[in-house]
Amino acid sequence: MRLLLLALAAAGATAAEPQGSLLGAALGSGRGASTLSLPMQIVLLLTALTLLPAALVSLTPFLRITVVLHFLRQALGTQTTPSNQVLLGMALFLTLLVMQPVLADIYEQSWRPLERGEITAAQALERARQPLHAFLLRYVREKDVAMLLEISKTPPPATPADLELRILIPAYVLSELKTGFQIGAVLFLPFLVIDLVVASVTLSVGMVQLPPVMISAPFKVLLFVLVDGWNLVVGSLVKSFY
């Protein structure tokens, strides 16, 4: 988020500066780098901003958190409570909390030297790639990487650090989806037991006026509140990334 704000601020500053400046120092004359025209700078910046939501959803803990919260709401049977806006907002701020060390490394190693004109844009991208690569590699499954290497007919790298992002990114998405579904399945189990018990009791006493799901809903919410479910779920989710 801090990087995005800095990029937007720098883009606004270039509109009032001579054409020799590019995003403050981003693509400017840092050690022999060729300067792009102002329209091309704007096009590149807007293109990067359009890809930002996809990157936020796919390359951060946002993916696992949203999947787990969706499963939790389905398990509770509360339909639209909490609303999608609340769940997405919680997932966004938890993602920023987890990603803060990675963003800080990218800012210190890539953006600040680029802003001071000490490195070129290509060097800044390479420096920004390293913290992101290390973060993704930490949570990727070897099985998913092997499958994607086989599909793309890419020879296996000598070390994990040599794995290309075009393989690492989809492997990370697959790994996070599996992890999110595993956590969601575990969350479903206690609420499923309550549904089964309530359904058995209501059918045994001949109570067919109300569906069992409607009767079990208050018991599931009460159980979730008594065990401080939000603290347990959110705490476990965040700790799974450390």
**pLDDT on residue 175:** 92
User: Per-residue pLDDT averaged across 168-193, rounded?
Assistant: 89
Nearest C-alpha neighbor of 114 from the set 98, 101, 126: 126
Return d(Cα 200, Cα 214) in angstroms, integer.
14
Q: What is the mean pLDDT of residues 71-79?
A: 84
Which DSSP letter does residue 207 get? -
Question: Among the listed ranges 4-18, 27-41, 119-133, 176-190, which one has the minimum average pLDDT value?
Answer: 4-18
Handedness of CA 175, 179, 180, 182 (dihedral sign): positive
* 213-240 mean pLDDT: 85
Instruction: Tell me how far apart the alpha carbons of residues 71 and 118 are, in angstroms, rounded to a whole number.
Output: 47
205: left (phi over 0), alpha (psi -120 to 50) or beta: alpha
Neighbours of 64 (CB within 10 A): 26
pLDDT of residue 115: 80
97-113 per-position pLDDT tens digit = 998 888 888 888 888 88
Residue 121's SS3 state is helix
Please give the average per-residue pLDDT across 34-40, as a whole number.
Answer: 68
What is the average pLDDT score of the chain? 78
pTM above 0.85, yes or no: no
| Token pair in block for residue 182 | 């595993």
Residue 36 has what pLDDT? 63
Residue 96 confidence (pLDDT) above 50? yes
Q: What integer pLDDT is reported at residue 24 of this predicted model?
A: 40
The answer, yes or no, to whether residue 9 has pLDDT greater than 50, is no
Residue 216's pLDDT is 78
Answer whether residue 185 shows pLDDT above 60: yes
The pair of structure tokens assigned to 198 is 């309530």
Q: Which comes out higher in pLDDT, residue 185 or 40?
A: 185
Distance, in Å, from the CA atom of 225 to the CA atom of 199, rounded to the nearest integer, reads 22
pLDDT (average), residues 39-57:
80
Closest by CA to 103, choosing from 71, 61, 41, is: 61
> Would the pLDDT of 160 be above 70?
yes
Please give the backbone phi and psi of residue 21, each rounded to the nearest 5 degrees, phi first.
Answer: -100, 140
